[in-house]
Amino acid sequence: MEDAKKILVGVTGGIAAYKVPGVIRRLREAGYEVKTIATEAAFRFIPEETLAIATGSRIHTEKTWWDESGRVEHVSLARWSDLVLVAPATADAMARVAVGLGDDLLSATVLAGARRVLWAPAMNPEMWSNPATKRSAETLKSWGHSFVGPAEGAMASSEEEPGVGRLADEAQIITAVESTLSADAAR
């Protein structure tokens, strides 16, 4: 598909990272061109190979920061993408961008002029309701970033009571991607 929208999926270090290959597959099935960035922390929860298989290409990491053409990868990825989808979006990833820290590939890409950013938060309910996390989310929203979720329900840890903090389900994320891109087209 020649004019397929380009989605850059940023995977961060949360337990919900294991759900992201399903989201990536659904995006590709819907006709989107997909590339993936994964933080080093993401690889504690999901193997790079699993993400590469879902994406259908190599994963962009701290090790690939400079691409073979000599261009700075965070700038070229920001320019390539029509939308950056951060899923799962941890409190750490949101805070890093909200305060302007660009010392990892994902945050640097968002800060390097990504056109649209959609955050899909997933974290412990207490982390989501923490004033610092709320402040980060409000800052990102004030920049025009969008959010999908978090959802309410059982958490990954058996020690956690159900609450608001689960990653939105695949269908909700895909709908939010489509809505975000449609809103851009309508402008």
Residue whose structure tokens are 């993400």: 51
CA distances from 134 to 13, 26, 60, 86, 140 (A): 19, 29, 29, 17, 10
As a whole number of angstroms, the distance between CA 173 and CA 47 comes to: 22
Would you give the distance in Å from CA 19 to the centre of its chain? 12
Q: What's the residue count for the chain?
A: 187
Which structural domains are found in the chain, ordered by start? 6-186 (3.40.50.1950)
The CB density around residue 37, as the number of other CB atoms within 10 Å, is 29
* pLDDT tens, the chain, 187 aa long: 457 899 999 999 999 999 999 999 999 999 999 999 999 999 999 999 999 999 999 999 888 766 666 667 888 899 999 999 999 999 999 999 999 998 899 999 999 988 899 999 999 888 999 999 999 999 999 999 999 989 877 666 655 667 678 899 999 999 999 999 987 655 5
Local structure of residue 13 (DSSP, 8 states): S
Backbone phi, psi, residue 19, to 5°: -85, -15
Type and span of the H or E element at 94: helix 91-98
